[in-house]
Amino acid sequence: MKYARLTKEQFEELHKEFINFLASQTITATEWEEIKVDKPDVAEQELDVFSDLVWEGVLSKVEYLEHVSPQQIHLFNLNEENMHLIAIKIKNPIDLTTTDGFNWLRENLMDDDVEFSQARKDYTSDKNADKFKLIQQGSVITKGNLFSYFDKLIN
């Protein structure tokens, strides 16, 4: 398995897609029930293959990721050639994961306690694996509004 198995909730959400996936392998609903009982290892492999297919599709479309921690925000623009990072670091004990902390940041962007930095990094030979690693480390997929806002602010 290249990525991670989808959660039970994700499988339930993608129920129709999973049925189509099984059908593409000429596995009927009855056969799937038999496989789950008689060949659980084969069933596990099918779940893993489907999970990887879903992740590949999602990761190939991801353009923006955000990772917010108490003192830092990392905003990623995942373009074709590389990853563009805008990092915001707070030097005081304000928690950016709270509404109050984020509001403080909005009102104090030019404060001496707020540091901005940028970086670009080329992908490895597996662009989607690079994106997935950021998600595993706590980043979430976004539409990029925060990245665009800070990009305009500092550039």
CA 79 → CA 103, 128, 131, distances in Å?
A: 29, 12, 11
pLDDT in tens, 61-115: 999 999 999 999 999 999 999 999 999 999 988 999 999 999 999 999 899 999 9
Residue range 135-154: mean pLDDT, rounded: 94
pTM of the model: 0.86
Structural contact between residues 51 and 21, judged by C-beta atoms closer than 8 angstroms:
no
Sole residue written with tokens 């353009």: 63
End-to-end, the C-alpha distance of the chain in Å comes to 40
Separation of CA 148 from chain center: 18
The predicted pLDDT at position 92 comes to: 87
CA distance 85 to 82: 10
Does the pLDDT at position 155 exceed 90?
no
Tokens of 49: 């293959």
